[in-house]
A and B are shown apart, each in its own frame.
Chain A
Amino acid sequence: QKEVEQNSGPLSVPEGAIASLNCTYSDRGSQSFFWYRQYSGKSPELIMSIYSNGDKEDGRFTAQLNKASQYVSLLIRDSQPSDSATYLCAPGANFGNEKLTFGTGTRLTIIP
């Protein structure tokens, strides 16, 4: 079993709809969870972090964490063409000084 599993996609979502990206992880010791966005040919950039069970909202983005199910998701509301990118899930063991394990990413395409 892979340490971090994501559906590779491509996931196609109409503009204005909600995009839902999912991630499962195997390390029960994971305490911090990060979502990175990577545009084609560019480096990853952090867009969301979550540490507690439940939801965390930041603008159009909502991260959801369920540690019992070892599941973390990212919802993008009112999807825009500029959201088209690969989204990487990365659980970490400790707060700060992170040695992260990245998923292979989900490629999201927003259809105008």
Chain B
Amino acid sequence: DVKVTQSSRYLVKRTGEKVFLECVQDMDHENMFWYRQDPGLGLRLIYFSYDVKMKEKGDIPEGYSVSREKKERFSLILESASTNQTSMYLCASLPGDSYEQYFGPGTRLTVT
């Protein structure tokens, strides 16, 4: 069974804090993605990565950065958290020879 884990289910941070969200997959997948999900806006792609040390901007990269130093780990970084980054954050991974994205359980981040 493919397993995608995220470091926290719930997180509360203050405005201006640096926030790290971590995602780990155990199936040697090449591709990893970070989304945020908001009511009425659906799933929106923040960043994705096709390989170690490789990253591509998604549709809403502003205010975020990512790091992929190892194949199994993809980190999302909020350099200076703001209240409009309060959201559900979902990580997904995808093998290179398939099209089924496997999602982690999500992290609900609240920025106060």
Residues of chain A touching chain B, judged by Cβ–Cβ distance below 8 Å, are 8, 32, 34, 42-46, 49, 88, 92, 95-105
**Are A44 and B42 interface neighbours, CB within 8 A?**
no
Option from A34, A92, A97 in Cβ contact (under 8 Å) with B96: A97
What would be 21 A-B contacts, judged by CB atoms less than 8 Å apart? A8-B40, A32-B99, A42-B105, A43-B105, A43-B106, A44-B43, A44-B90, A44-B103, A46-B100, A49-B99, A88-B42, A88-B43, A95-B99, A97-B30, A98-B31, A98-B101, A99-B48, A99-B58, A101-B59, A102-B35, A102-B44
Question: What's the dominant secondary structure at chain A's contact region?
Answer: loop
Task: Tell me the B77-112 residues at the A interface (CB within 8 Å).
Answer: 90, 94, 96-101, 103-106
B50 within 8 A of A: yes
Interface residues on B, range: 20 to 34
Residues of chain B touching chain A, judged by Cβ–Cβ distance below 8 Å, are 30-31, 35, 40-45, 48, 50, 56, 58-59, 90, 94, 96-101, 103-106
Question: What's the dominant secondary structure at chain B's contact region?
Answer: loop
**Are A103 and B42 interface neighbours, CB within 8 A?**
yes
Option from A34, A43, A44 in Cβ contact (under 8 Å) with B99: A34
Least distance between B51 CB and chain A CB atoms (Å): 11
Option from B41, B45, B105 in Cβ contact (under 8 Å) with A99: B45
**Are B103 and A102 interface neighbours, CB within 8 A?**
no
